[in-house]
Copies of this chain bind each other. A is one copy, B any other.
């Protein structure tokens, strides 16, 4: 193509999560002017963020500088900036510093944050886990809780410092609870003089009737068993109705609870893994384009991931309320997992190229290769889906090994893979966590 730079279409991609990254990569050799804008300078490998929060990995091990990842992609410019709005009529992306980025085509993968279901007042007492800062804050709270317990002479208050509550039984909640149990039972014993860290209580509260609801029921049961073997108290049908600095109030619901009295858990360290809310850009885009927006703030997209009457805008990843169109089957909702975000990124890029070539776009089809969640040392559950639609399910040690290699394989950047492997190998053999470092203990 001999077009001069000025005539190349301007593409803006918002967000360098899994979706934005894949979209940018898929457009690598196209005659375009791409700007990739994000409010952080790194791509975060979110499936391992809980390891940073639980002092198993350092931040740089799971974060790769975006500018470096795209240094050789000549058609792409990286921009560090916070997107505050999208002018869909004027076709420009507005940044906080006043910059306006004009676009011919726009791909929005701004992702999601926490949702406290209308109880934002809980946020200071129960941090969620989406960014590196979140992970540092949770790491700080976990390690300082043990330190505070060591100094506390009042037995009730000591017990509260040694009670950890994880709210939400999805993959993040299950992983956090498993790691907390390992820290208490395997990493810290022998290091304190006044407390026994292995006496710490770890509670996992789930409002529904089973853990890991996107997985088959027998794996949910297996995950619960494995957590309980690690010493986690799993409470199902346990709805959180209040959180403050020193306690969590729970309302039991449904059949498995055995009682219906509300009760209070005294705890000084609570982690929120229950709800996500899409970026506010979703609601803004929906208002501007007339697209539908669901309660979580996700924008309903067309089958090809574009917005109604705005074929120049695609929405992908956790920000999109998308359907999967498989031949001969009813459209199915796409789950909020990283493989789905990656596939949407590639699909949006491919449809963008089809549009530029005046060819018809294709509906998005999500290919589910399976689900996996880890629980702790040697424990995980895996549900693999074969192309023929069959499921291969396994748990325990083989599942854990599978999880381990899958995660190392998908880590972005070769160096990270090696360091993460060493960290895990050394953590595995020594039962230690080397990243037990708090930069600001907030004394």
Contact = CB atoms under 8 A, between A and B. Distances in A.
Interface of A: 39-42, 58-61, 63, 65, 67-68, 70-72, 77-82, 96-97, 99, 131-133, 136, 143-144, 147, 150-151, 190-194, 413, 415-416, 418-419, 422-423, 426, 430, 432, 434-441, 443
A438 B144 CA distance: 23
A175 to B, nearest CB: 20
B422 A191 contact: no
Contact of A71 (B71, B190, B419): B190
Task: Give how many copies assemble into the complex.
Answer: 2
A68 B416 CA distance: 25
A96 B441 CA distance: 13
Given A58-B61, A439-B133, A443-B81, A434 B418 contact: no
Nearest to A69: B191
13 contacts: A40-B441, A41-B436, A41-B441, A42-B436, A58-B61, A65-B436, A71-B191, A79-B150, A80-B147, A80-B151, A80-B441, A418-B426, A422-B422
Contact of A151 (B61, B97, B133, B191): B97
A423 B419 contact: yes
B41 A143 contact: yes
B80 A40 contact: no
Contacts of A434: 60, 413, 415-416, 419
A68 B419 contact: no
B151 A438 contact: no
A418 B426 CA distance: 10
Given A58-B59, A415-B426, A68 B443 contact: no
